[in-house]
Amino acid sequence: MTKTTLITGANRGIGLEMARRAAARGDRVLASVRDPERASELAALPGVTVLGFDVTDPDVLAEAAAQTGPLDLLICNAGQLRARGGIDDPEHTPEIWDSVLMTNVAGVFFTVRAFLPCLAQAPAPKIAVISSIMASSERAPGGSYLYRASKAAATNLARNLAVDLKDKGIAVGAYHPGWVRTDMGGSSADIDAGESAQGLLARFDALSLETTGVFEDYRGDPMAF
């Protein structure tokens, strides 16, 4: 049976590559973008329907969910990396903290909450939260405070959602996609977005109610919470 997969932040980077690969293997892909005018590559992919929403807007998320039927896999991929420096980074403003925390943390929560009724209609629904090794308790080299804190919170959300949603039959995992050559990861990163997307989709396939609550990377290596 055809699976329906929804990916947020899919107009570029890892989200775009997950959309491409999920559609190529036969999923019905719903791919969300903030600005459909800047999503021509995504919109041209066969099997992909483009949805327009910002993950920080619960009303628009609710409207999108009301038009979505059964959902097998929800991938919370949209994310922002700002204030990459140390304490003195001028990007440490209330506005930038607000924007990153709203997207990386509240955006995950709002997206999951909006699409729960759709997930509940699928036979074996799953939620994947794209976190980062920068959230891992094993890695605290200093700097990038805002991003690290936001992804640590996103991982924590995933872990607690896994507990609450297990009885509803919904499995939840948090994932590090690798250090990936995208606008966010930069050109010196380790792997391309295709390799990351392929690995992540395989990890989501492996996710089950037995493994719900995992935090692992795109190769399946466990991450420390």
Ligand X SMILES: NC(=O)c1ccc[n+]([C@@H]2O[C@H](COP(=O)([O-])OP(=O)(O)OC[C@H]3O[C@@H](n4cnc5c(N)ncnc54)[C@H](OP(=O)(O)O)[C@@H]3O)[C@@H](O)[C@H]2O)c1
Closer residue to ligand X (CB): 9 or 213? 9
- 72 lies in the site for ligand X, by CB under 6 A: no
Tokens (6 digits) for 119: 């997930």
What's the CA gap between 199 and 177, in Å, rounded? 8
What residues from 25 to 44 belong to the interface with ligand X (CB under 6 A)?
A: 34-35
205: CB partners within 8 A, 6+ apart: none
Cβ neighbour number for residue 90 with a 10 Å cutoff: 8
Residue type, 150: S
- 77 lies in the site for ligand X, by CB under 6 A: yes
> Could you tell me the smallest distance in angstroms from the CB atom of residue 130 to ligand X?
4
Query: Helix (H, G, I), strand (E, B), or coil: what is residue 69?
Result: coil
- 14 lies in the site for ligand X, by CB under 6 A: yes
6-14, 18-26, 62-70, 161-169 -> range binding ligand X (CB under 6 A): 6-14
Closer residue to ligand X (CB): 119 or 174? 174
> Mask 94-113, x = binds ligand X (CB under 6 A)?
---------x---x------
66-74, 76-84, 112-120, 163-171 -> range binding ligand X (CB under 6 A): 76-84
From 75, 171, 173, 177, residue interacting with ligand X (rule: CB under 6 A): 177
- 189 lies in the site for ligand X, by CB under 6 A: yes
DSSP string, 189-208: -SB-HHHHHHHHHHHHHH--
# of chain residues touching ligand X (CB under 6 A): 30
What's the CA gap between 130 and 135, in Å, rounded? 11
CA angle in degrees (0–180, nearest 5) for 51-113-79? 60
Closer residue to ligand X (CB): 3 or 151? 151
- 180 lies in the site for ligand X, by CB under 6 A: yes
Q: What is the CA radius of gyration of the chain?
A: 16
Pairing of strands 215-217, 48-52: unpaired
What residues from 102 to 161 belong to the interface with ligand X (CB under 6 A)?
A: 103, 107, 130, 132
Pairing of strands 73-76, 48-52: unpaired
Q: For binding to ligand X (CB under 6 A), which residues are involved?
A: 8-9, 11-15, 34-35, 54-56, 77-81, 103, 107, 130, 132, 176-177, 179-180, 182-185, 189
